[in-house]
Amino acid sequence: MFLYSNRVVDETKKLNIRIKDATIDQAMLKLLAGKSLGYLIESKTIVVFPQAQQVRQLIPNLKARETVTGTVTDEKGEGVAGVSVSLKGTNISAITDSNGNYSLNAPDSNGTLVFSFIGYATVEKLFSGSVPINVTMIVDNKALEEVVVIGYGTQRKSDLTGAVASVKEEQIRERAAPSLNQSLAGRMAGVQVNVNSGRPGGKSNIRIRGFSSINTSNNPLFVMDGVALPQSNLSQFSSPIDFINPNDIVSVEVLKDASSTAIYGARGANGVILVTTRKGRSGESRVTYNTDFGVPTMGPNKPEVLNAREYLAVEELAYKNMQKYDSVGWARGNYAPFNPAIRRANAALMANGVFDANGNPLHDTDWLKATTQSKLSQNHQLGLTGGNDRTTYAVSLGYRNDYGFIISSFMKRYSGRFTVEDQVKKWLRVGGTLSYNAQAENIVDINSNIRQIVEDLPILPVNYPNGTFANNRDYPGAEGTYSSVHRFSNSKFNLNTQTTIGSFFSNINLFKGLEMRTVFGSNIIRQETNEFTARTLNVGSANAGNAASRSQVETFWSLENYLTYNKKFTNSNLTALLGISWQENDGYNFRASAQGFDTDFYEFNNLGPGSGARGVSSGSDDTDFGFESYFGRINYNLLDRYLFTVTGRADGSSRFGQNNKFAYFPSAAFAWRVSEEGFWKKNDLISNLKLRTSYGLTGNSEIRSYDYLDLLGSNAAILNEARVPGTGLGRLANPDLRWEKTAQADIGLELGLLNNRITLEADYYYRKTTDMLLSAPVPRTSGYSSVRRNIGSMANKGMEFAINSANIRGKDLSWNTSFNISFNRNKILSLATPSDIVDVGGPNMTGVTNIIRVGEAAGSFYGLTRLGVWGTNEAAEAAKFASYRGGGKILPGDVKYLDVNGDYIINDADRGIIGNGSPKAWGSLFNTLKYKNLDLLVDLQYSYGNDVMDLTLHPSEDRQSTANSYRSVLNAWTPQNQNTMIAEVRQAGHTTTPDTRWVKDGSFLRGRNIMLGYTLSKSITDRMNLNSLRIYTSAQNLFLLVDDEIVGDPETTPIQGGEGANVFSQGQNFHGYPRPRTFMFGLQIGL
Amino acid sequence: MKTHIKKDINKVVFTGLFIMLGITGCEKSDLLNKQPESQINQANYYTLPEHAESALNAIYGETRTVYQVVGGIFSGVYQMLEAPTGTSRTESGQNADQNALHGLTYDGNTAHIASYWNNTYRLIAQANW
């Protein structure tokens, strides 16, 4: 061991000397030859000192020493390695070994030892003589000292002036989810994550503090290790984060208020999610291997449909009732083909053994069972980290193979990642990360495939005896053409997504306190969409057999340079940041499709042989955008009590009109740590109290590229029997087009009770979005319908509470509870004109489903009020109504709507707001119990006051006998059963339009994740040569409590929903991918 | 002291390098003035005689779309006259606009009527282009 002062030895350069078989004295003499240094050997320590200095001055009482030994353990009694043990008032120190033992040579036989270790409270102990000093280190619960990532930097949580929520690695790992969004669901107050599908991989969306936009994106900005992930035009409304392996992510910070998001300026309005991935660390290399296996099973609230006998009974009644509802047509014989006797006597059906000779069904198929599977899915993640004081690295490899609950759906992901960091010079640190994810999926919840499961007739088998598929179209007059099993088996929608993300950074320490960081990042997303529909799914058409392929490449790069200056004054601390950023994205896609194949062999692999009327058609387009931005921030901390932050950013974007190229976003915040004040008596009850407030402007620049330009439209005319292209009217230019602005005010409170065993964070916010992009109408006589303008405004206000409590913190038993609840209210303040916007929301095949109306919440459900069904004693009143049943007279047994204005006409004047898909309150409750080696997690999700608009009631309850229906139709109106909401069954003339019957109370409580784990004790893992081993089992979506007649899951969006024009379709049920209950088993191994 | 100066030179070189990389790598005009490359606008089209012809073709094209009336599910332009006069009937009853035609409660907001007028105005505008 060498002992020397930096001041002395720093002056010399590195020396290389060659010595062989020499004593230490000989070596030292050679080493120090010609230097003004001396040396001295004292009990295995070589002390180097300037020759002029006396050794005794350098180390007083070198001879009078005492050896102090002992063991440092944690609360569980296990030795803690790496604890620094130092003798107070000296430079003498030691480090504990892997068993927690230490030995320290003290110059005196009395003194104070200081034990310190990151994450633990520092302990001081007196020693006297050589009595062993054993210490138990207690985990430091001052979560306030936690460091969080903020835009372009990090900050101690106690210094934050903004509203920032964090999720740590262990919380992300609790759910073995394939996408980050799913891991984040319910973790943070104010952050609403809706997982709207049971599809492997999710299909989730994130809203931070409500909606902020109607026509541009409502998605937050994701920033991964300092590099933005732009929102690309990916298939299925997915976002680039969906394709990143969540196992590489170690922390996530969500910036919610304007003080923290304004540094991202024109892209901060919807909140910013900062993602930090795993880095290497110095010390012993570590290998981790995590694996899990899961099986999906039928989830809660499965749809209940008619069985074969029930279906046939409904069909008979429906046919009979047509005599009442269309007596003229009945007499004319319009409904004769629907006579059940004739339908069932169909020769082909008879030949295929569907009915017996008496017309009784021979099958009773459970189509839900036939189209679902419980196959074993697996996930393997291998990680390696290591390094020394200078260089650290991390490598990870992942493979996941999920079989979806619906047959033929799957998701596979291969991922690899490498990161390295090096302290090249004292003043220069560089690092880089390269990651690659390849994901392959087969999407089945497209078109009407899922819908078909409940509409498939139970009287049909899956396959006829000859092996071909049985289809609804085989049954005369039925709707639905091909069966669900047939569709899943003979069509493909393959999505192959490859994401390559690379980043490189350098940190240059220019002089004390001033650093320059440069981050160059690039991400390239390549997505291929390959579709194929077999010839059997379009029988008899010249265009039978369809194939299409689409390839999209999004290439993004960014270069950011910023200076950070930190200066400590006597009573205060100043941090200033100044930076510049350039970003560019190039999107290109190419697509081709063909039909009319004479074989299914090629699928989408060879479009050439397609010979249909339209042959092979193709197209391509290109969309680019660029950003040039300047940003800065000043944090000033006075007396550790008064914290000030001022932030600003100027964003220039190619998406803005010529007259508005640059946008400016300022913000300011102030926080007061009341509990640090002199007048505040230190007490354990209220151990921390901080008040903070902020105000600022952010923007939403996710307007489409070139939206400000007067692009031309194209059409085609037929001249001289030939198709000729025409180029003309497109859209109006708006050179003033610019970002949407959001001003946000936030007031927050952070409270720590009982020495921070209980922490509470509460926020109130008001967000007002102005300059909202809308299509403002222009006089129709111009030929145009509208022009895009920055007009319109909306507001969100809400409250958020997050509480964390360490209920029990014992040696063997610990119990932690965290609870969060969020409230948000949205209101439209102004639109382009006072009239409503109705072309938003879900599939509106039977009328408008959603409305955007001034004074109401954006995207409220819109429709008629169904009072019930006209009774036999109300025939005269019903007959007064103008027909709302295709011209037929309104009769007892017809739906009875509320006629708001009493004009006996049921039309738009009678429609109103009948619900809203956004919850009034939502959140989560987590309980973590640990007893010795066992751990139990109970993760509950709840939502209150959200409505569900069940559009499936249109085909499956309001209509009967064209396809199978829900069992609820057994409660339809009959002269004997008049107190019902469901009209009398019939073959035709169904009255069906969005109304209150479709709107259900979607409040729910979900057992999202129940997990039981066991960590093998050290003695066993040591014998197995392992560092750690944990086994666990979990059940996801275990139970779902709802209070209304909900079919399926209340957390849902229709097919194709979730973004774009359908951003307001949250809570609309239209045959999404059913959400399974999944049972899992996993292993976490540390080598 | 000599070494300190040398270090600082390194730093300056490095810092300057990154900043230059940024400035030369992305000219301001490149990033902020992206022009569409797969769509045309008035400024960069209509340069050849064929383009004038194409504008003329567009008028004929619009004559076709006048009859592309938006009428909702199970409906179309033909219902605009047939339904109110009772010539046509419907068995579905699920299209509110269609019901308005049958029930003689239609007005300018009924999809069929509105889209017919809008398409016709479009045709006129294209002819005056």
Residue-by-residue DSSP string for A440-499: EEE--SSTTHHHHHHHS-TTS-SB-TTSPBP-GGGSTT-S-SS-HHHHHHHEEEEEEEEE
User: Which of B55, B102, B122 lies nearest to residue A887, judging by beta carbons?
Assistant: B102
Can you give the pLDDT at residue A63? 47
Rounded Cα gap, residues A504 and A420, in angstroms: 10
Rounded Cα gap, residues A279 and A286, in angstroms: 12
Q: Which residues of B touch A719 (CB under 8 A)?
A: 57, 60
Query: Which residue bears the tokens 């005009």?
Result: B29
Q: Which residues of B touch A626 (CB under 8 A)?
A: 26, 30-32, 34
User: Which of A559, A726, A785 lies nearest to residue B22, judging by beta carbons?
Assistant: A559
| A135-136: strand order across its sheet | A101-106, A66-73, A135-136
Q: In chain A, which residue's Cα lies nearest the Cα of B53?
A: A726
Q: Do B58 and A717 lie within an 8 Å CB cutoff?
A: yes
Per-residue pLDDT tens over the stretch B56-97: 999 998 888 888 777 777 788 888 888 888 888 777 777 878
Rounded Cα gap, residues A387 and A391, in angstroms: 5
**Main-chain dihedrals φ then ψ at residue A450, nearest 5 degrees:** -70, -40
Q: At what angle do helices B111-127 and B49-65 cross, to 10 degrees?
A: 160
Contact status, residue A505 vs residue A518, Cβ threshold 8 Å: yes
Q: Which of B3, B4, B12, B14 to mutate to test the interface with A (most CBs of A within 10 A)?
A: B14
Q: Do A654 and B54 lie within an 8 Å CB cutoff?
A: no
Q: Do B93 and A991 lie within an 8 Å CB cutoff?
A: yes
Residue among A694, A692, A696 nearest A649 (CA): A696
Residue-by-residue DSSP string for B1-66: -HHHHHHHHHHHHHHHHHHHHHHHHS-HHHHH----SSS-BTTTS--SHHHHHHHHHHHHHHHHHT
The alpha carbon dihedral of B54, B60, B64, B69 has a sign of positive
Contact status, residue A186 vs residue A923, Cβ threshold 8 Å: yes
Q: In chain B, which residue's Cα lies nearest the Cα of A656?
A: B32
Q: Do A727 and B94 lie within an 8 Å CB cutoff?
A: no
Give how far A990 is from chain B: nearest CA, Å.
6
Can you give the pLDDT at residue A925? 95
The continuous run of DSSP H or E covering A953 comes out as: helix A953-953
Contact status, residue B77 vs residue B71, Cβ threshold 8 Å: yes
Residue-by-residue DSSP string for A489-528: HHEEEEEEEEEEEEEEEEEEEEETTEEEEEEEEEEEEEEE
| ipTM greater than 0.85 | no
Burial class of residue A698, CB neighbours in 10 A (0-12, 13-18, 19+): buried
| Lookup: tokens for A9 | 């030895």
pTM over 0.90: no
Residue-by-residue DSSP string for A297-323: E--SSPPPB--HHHHHHHHHHHHHHHH
Burial class of residue A467, CB neighbours in 10 A (0-12, 13-18, 19+): exposed
Can you give the pLDDT at residue B15? 64
Q: In chain B, which residue's Cα lies nearest the Cα of A624?
A: B34
Rounded Cα gap, residues A229 and A241, in angstroms: 8
Contact status, residue A616 vs residue A663, Cβ threshold 8 Å: no
Rounded Cα gap, residues A1000 and A915, in angstroms: 8
Q: Is B92 on the interface with A (CB under 8 A)?
A: yes
Contact status, residue A688 vs residue A664, Cβ threshold 8 Å: no
Contact status, residue A1003 vs residue A1042, Cβ threshold 8 Å: yes
Residue among B55, B85, B13 nearest A428 (CA): B13
**Main-chain dihedrals φ then ψ at residue B127, nearest 5 degrees:** -70, -30
Give how far B18 is from chain A: nearest CA, Å.
7
Q: HSE (CB half, 13 Å, CA atoms) of B101?
A: 28
Q: Position A184: which residue type?
A: L
Residue among A279, A232, A256 nearest A151 (CA): A256
Residue among A34, A87, A40 nearest A65 (CA): A87
**Main-chain dihedrals φ then ψ at residue A1020, nearest 5 degrees:** -75, -45
Q: Is B10 on the interface with A (CB under 8 A)?
A: yes
Contact status, residue A385 vs residue A286, Cβ threshold 8 Å: yes
Q: Position A110: which residue type?
A: N
Q: What is the DSSP letter of A923?
A: E
Residue among A483, A639, A637 nearest A575 (CA): A637
Contact status, residue B84 vs residue B74, Cβ threshold 8 Å: no
Q: Do A559 and B26 lie within an 8 Å CB cutoff?
A: yes
- CA–CA distance from A589 to each of A268, A528, A583, A953 (Å)? 28, 9, 20, 38
Rounded Cα gap, residues A742 and A634, in angstroms: 22
| Lookup: tokens for B118 | 């809008």
Q: Do A887 and B19 lie within an 8 Å CB cutoff?
A: no
Task: Kindly list the averaged pLDDT for each block of 10 residues, start to end, along chain A of length 1087.
Answer: 58 63 69 67 66 49 67 81 80 79 82 79 81 80 68 87 89 84 89 86 84 86 90 77 88 92 91 91 85 93 93 93 90 90 86 86 93 94 89 93 94 94 90 94 88 93 92 88 93 93 91 91 93 89 87 93 92 92 92 90 89 78 92 92 93 90 92 86 82 94 87 87 87 89 94 90 94 86 85 93 91 92 94 83 80 91 94 93 86 93 89 92 94 93 94 91 93 94 92 92 94 91 88 94 90 65 79 91 91
- Count of positions (residues) in chain B: 129
Can you give the pLDDT at residue B1? 43
Burial class of residue A7, CB neighbours in 10 A (0-12, 13-18, 19+): exposed
Alpha helices (H) along A63-192:
169-174, 180-184
Residue among A737, A646, A736, A643 nearest A697 (CA): A646
Q: Which of A330, A552, A582, A957 to mutate to test the interface with B (most CBs of B within 10 A)?
A: A582
Q: Which residues of A touch B35 (CB under 8 A)?
A: 706
Rounded Cα gap, residues A899 and A890, in angstroms: 14
Q: Do A988 and B91 lie within an 8 Å CB cutoff?
A: yes
